[in-house]
Structures are given as C-alpha cells and as structure tokens.
C-alpha cells in the first residue's frame, strides 16, 4: 500500500462565507497523478471545528458539481462537508481506463490521489472523519465504479458510492471484467451503492445491463439500489445525487425512493 505523502499546497483562497456555510479553495499537488487539482471544501452553516466528525461527500467534476451536490444534500437532509474535486478539463485522462479514446488510462492514479493524498489532508485539517461518500456523473461514474471494485471490502476508503448515468459505453469490457473479477474474489460489497441512469438521451442501456448483472449476485442484497430517472443525461444530476445520498446514508427516502434489488 502506498503511503500518504505531504502535499505542497498553494495557500487556500479567502473563504467564501454565506448564510448556507462557507467554501474554502485549496490547490493540491498529487505525486500519484503528477498534476495539481483545485479542491473546494464546503462547510455547512453553523460549522464548528469542535463538532463531532461530519459525513464527507466527495464529488467529481468539482467545477460544475459543487452546487448541485450542496442542493442534493440539503434536500436529503444531510449535514455534511462537501469536497468538490476539480479536474482541470482532464476528465477522460483521470476518470477513464485505457481504451476509452486516446486519453484514458489515468483513473487508478487519480483514485490513488484521492485515497492516499486527499483524504489524509482533509482529515488533518477538518473534522472529516465521518462517513465518506464518493459521487460521480457520466465519465465521473466510471471512476466511482472503478473505486468501488478496485478495493477489498475490508479496505474501503468509502462507505457509499453514487454512480450517476455512467459512460460504460466508453469501455464496457473493462468494467465487466472488473465486476466479474470482484465477484470471484469477494462475497460482499461492504458499502452501499446507488446507480442511476437517465430515461432519455443517457447511458441507460449500458448502465441497465451492468446493474442487472450486479444485482443478481446474492452479496449485493441490501447494499445496492438502482433507479431510472425521468430526464436527460444532464438534467438528472441533482436528483440522482439526492436519492443516492438518502440511500447510502440511510436517510428517510419519502416518496419516490429507489428500489433495492
């Protein structure tokens, strides 16, 4: 296992305070990915560093998904730290495996940045020792799927995984092999997983096939939920995150709850 390394950091920007909390921007250099990333850490209203550790929601595509995730957390009744990880427009390089176009192949290095560098940094600087959730949409859903199936259940860095309309079409063979290999080695997920896809103009065919195979395995019972959401690939993001947070953090789902399989 790699060791967490000290990260050369740019000084955080001045916190952006509002009635709904504050956001602090960090720039982190990753030895694993050999690149630097902007990371926005949003602390909820009334945040006090002396409070008990809060859940921490890590969302990919941080430049565009911080606000949708904050809105989803509010709607789901989740008081949490939201960590939005920017990718400097290198989505395919960082989120996709080799074979997904000519720029894929960096998803393991990016995942190592998250688990060995970013998480220790956050826990050293924030009360970020609560439940952890990793969320990604589209290509980001590929990275989250990889994270889910790349670690043994007893060594997981995350308690919940939100996979929204994932672009499995980009490398279907890779994720099928990853899923099947995990199933041969382990008899449980050891986490709660919520997978959604858009009913219109989305990645439903591939996501539905992946979900069907995974849901037939006995060890996914109670830990895995799927949902087809009305809307398009771009319009379902906030709702996918809201329903996913309700499921993985076991909040009251109300009406329209995802069906467990």
Q: Are 191 and 160 contacting, i.e. CB atoms less than 8 angstroms apart?
A: yes
Q: Could you report the per-residue pLDDT of 72-124, keeping only the tens digit for each?
A: 999 999 999 999 999 877 999 999 999 887 778 999 999 999 999 999 999 99
Is 196 inside any structural domain? yes
Q: Could you report the per-residue pLDDT of 228-255, keeping only the tens digit for each?
A: 999 999 999 999 999 999 999 987 554 3
Q: Which domain holds residue 83?
A: 9-260
Q: Which two tokens stand for residue 43?
A: 């602390």
Is 2 inside any structural domain? no
Domain count, the chain: 1
Q: How far apart are CA 90 and CA 197, in angstroms?
A: 23
Q: Could you report the per-residue pLDDT of 3-54, keeping only the tens digit for each?
A: 333 333 333 344 454 547 899 999 999 999 999 999 999 998 877 765 667 8
Q: How far apart are the first and last CA of the chain?
A: 34
Q: How far apart are CA 188 and CA 185, in angstroms?
A: 10
Is 150 inside any structural domain? yes
Is 47 inside any structural domain? yes
Q: Are 114 and 58 contacting, i.e. CB atoms less than 8 angstroms apart?
A: yes
Is 3 inside any structural domain? no
Q: Are 95 and 110 contacting, i.e. CB atoms less than 8 angstroms apart?
A: yes
Q: Tell me, what CATH number does 79's domain have? A: 3.40.50.1820
Is 228 inside any structural domain? yes
Whole-model pTM?
0.88
Q: Could you report the per-residue pLDDT of 123-178, keeping only the tens digit for each?
A: 999 888 889 999 999 999 999 999 999 999 999 999 999 999 999 999 989 999 99
> What local confidence, expressed as pLDDT, does residue 30 receive?
97
Is 1 inside any structural domain? no
Weakest mean pLDDT among 166-180, 189-203, 208-222: 208-222
Q: How far apart are CA 54 and CA 44, in angstroms?
A: 10
> What local confidence, expressed as pLDDT, does residue 104 receive?
84
> What local confidence, expressed as pLDDT, does residue 106 receive?
93
In Å, how far are 40, 77, 132 from 73, measured between CA atoms?
A: 16, 6, 13
Q: Are 168 and 195 contacting, i.e. CB atoms less than 8 angstroms apart?
A: no
> What local confidence, expressed as pLDDT, does residue 191 receive?
92
> What local confidence, expressed as pLDDT, does residue 49 receive?
62
Q: How far apart are CA 2 and CA 21, in angstroms?
A: 34
Give the torsion sign (CA, 80, 86, 91, 94): negative
Is 21 inside any structural domain? yes
């Amino acid at each position: 296992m790699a060791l967490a390394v000290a990260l050369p950091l740019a000084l955080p920007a001045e916190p952006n305070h509002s009635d709904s909390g504050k956001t602090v921007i960090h720039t982190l250099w990753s030895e694993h990915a050999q690149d630097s990333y902007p990371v926005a850490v949003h602390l909820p209203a009334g945040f006090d560093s002396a409070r008990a550790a809060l859940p921490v929601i890590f969302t990919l595509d941080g430049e565009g998904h911080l606000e949708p995730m904050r809105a989803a957390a509010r709607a789901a009744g989740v008081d949490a730290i939201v960590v939005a990880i920017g990718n400097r427009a290198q989505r395919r390089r960082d989120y996709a495996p080799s074979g997904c176009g000519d720029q894929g192949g960096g998803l393991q290095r990016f995942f190592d940045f998250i688990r060995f560098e970013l998480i220790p940094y956050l826990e050293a600087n924030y009360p970020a020792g609560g439940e952890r959730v990793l969320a990604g949409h589209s290509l980001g859903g590929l990275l989250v799927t990889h994270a889910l199936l790349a670690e043994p259940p007893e060594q997981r860095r995350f308690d919940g995984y939100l996979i929204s309309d994932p672009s499995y079409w980009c490398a279907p063979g890779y994720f099928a092999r990853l899923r099947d290999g995990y199933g041969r080695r382990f008899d449980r997920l050891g986490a709660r997983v919520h997978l959604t896809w858009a009913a219109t103009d989305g990645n439903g065919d591939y996501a539905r096939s992946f979900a069907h195979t995974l849901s037939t395995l006995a060890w996914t019972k109670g830990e895995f939920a799927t949902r087809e959401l009305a809307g398009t690939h771009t319009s379902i993001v906030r709702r996918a995150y809201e329903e996913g947070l309700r499921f993985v953090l076991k909040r009251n789902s109300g009406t329209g709850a995802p069906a467990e399989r």
